[in-house]
Amino acid sequence: MATDPSPTRPFSLGTFSLGGGVPFPGLVTGEEVLDLRTVPGLRGTSGTNTGTRDLLERWDEVLPVLRELAGGGGTRHRLTDLRVHAPVQPRQILQSGANYRTHVVDLAVAHEPENGRPADQVRAEVAAMMDRRAAEDQPYVFIGLPSSVTGPYDDVVLPGWCTKPDWELELAAVIGEPAHRVSPERALDHVAAYTIANDVTARELVFRRDMPEIGTDWLRAKNAPTFTPLGPFLVPAEFVDDPADLRVTLRLNGQVMQDESTKDMIFDVARLVSHVSQTVELLPGDLVLTGSPAGNGMHWGRLLRAGDVMDGTITGLGSQRNTCVAEEA
């Protein structure tokens, strides 16, 4: 989206609550949060400001005001006094699959023992497939459900039916201006911000063994409640120098499992947003997840279990921490 020169002080947006109260949109500068409901100039046509999605719907109008507010003024809360919720409630979540070269190769090799082919053969075949996809400009994208979204510090509930829960930390682009049939050259104009998503996956349910000709079952594999920890904040695009050069790192109980650059993406953010927009009208607050880099549980032979703690960070976007808990009977 069109932006003015960046302010001296960077800021981000989030959704917060105080003492169990109603969640509110807040502007984050350092360790302080300004309740944006107290800023008359940010109220919508109804006279209220109900959340960050309302701000994204008026992003070109709101952004200059946010820049001024980042300079100081107003009554601010200490970040440590607030509960941090998912930073936005999207209408739509579009998720890119098989978008990191190393990740795709690792998954193919991890699944291959069932067929018994040598790992080198599998790697060569998958590499050729990815080169073909890149040349044909055909990203693989599927639909996620907003009901799977949870906060950046909330528990991830492992359902009793899930036997192989896995992590997938990824960069998420947040739409500001609606996008429909936009070119890759214009696609980033429609991205207002970036955030972190962890696309938790029930690996045993990805492929339908009862109907292999049907293919993948993304509904059950990825959309259980709490399976998409999001946030902590929405970092405006003007503060992200290059979304194609960010470090994605996930630690499991303190041990590094994922540590990869977004340079390894087959399709960058612009190409993904453009591709999705050829079919879908992307709306303010929608998420385009860019895929998971290498280092998932299937690669390590170690899946999630109750008590595990996932710490995820992406350069410049903050960090999230989620504890895995077993679903109550």
Q: Return the pLDDT at 108.
A: 65
Q: Are residues 174 and 56 in the same domain?
A: no
CB atoms within 10 A of CB 132: 10
Rg (CA), the chain: 20
**Going by C-beta distance under 8 Å and a sequence separation of 6 or more, which residues neighbour residue 87?**
13, 14, 15, 52, 152, 195, 230, 231, 232, 233, 234
Shortest CA distance to 270 belongs to which of 139, 144, 132? Answer: 139
pLDDT band of 44, cuts 50, 70, 90: low
Mean pLDDT score, 222-241 = 97
Domain count of the fold of the chain:
2
Mean pLDDT score, 191-197 = 98
Q: Are residues 145 and 44 in the same domain?
A: no
Q: Are residues 155 and 281 in the same domain?
A: yes
Mean pLDDT score, 268-287 = 97
Is the pLDDT assigned to residue 293 strictly greater than 60?
Answer: yes
Which CATH number covers residue 224? 3.90.850.10
Residue 307, sorted as left (phi over 0), alpha (psi -120 to 50) or beta, turns out to be left
Mean pLDDT score, 254-269 = 95
Q: What is the DSSP letter of 232?
A: S
Shortest CA distance to 74 belongs to which of 36, 45, 109? Answer: 36
Q: Return the pLDDT at 1.
A: 55
pLDDT band of 151, cuts 50, 70, 90: very high
Q: Return the pLDDT at 171.
A: 98
List, for residues 75-133, the tens digit of each pLDDT value.
Answer: 899 999 999 999 999 999 999 988 987 767 776 666 655 556 777 777 777 777 777 77
Q: Are residues 45 and 188 in the same domain?
A: no
Percent of the chain at pLDDT exceeding 90: 74
Q: Return the pLDDT at 7.
A: 43
Q: Return the pLDDT at 137.
A: 74
Q: Say if 117 falls within a structural domain.
A: no
Domain extent for 25: 12-85
Could you give the CA distance from residue 33 to residue 21 in angstroms, rounded to a whole number?
15
Q: Say if 167 falls within a structural domain.
A: yes
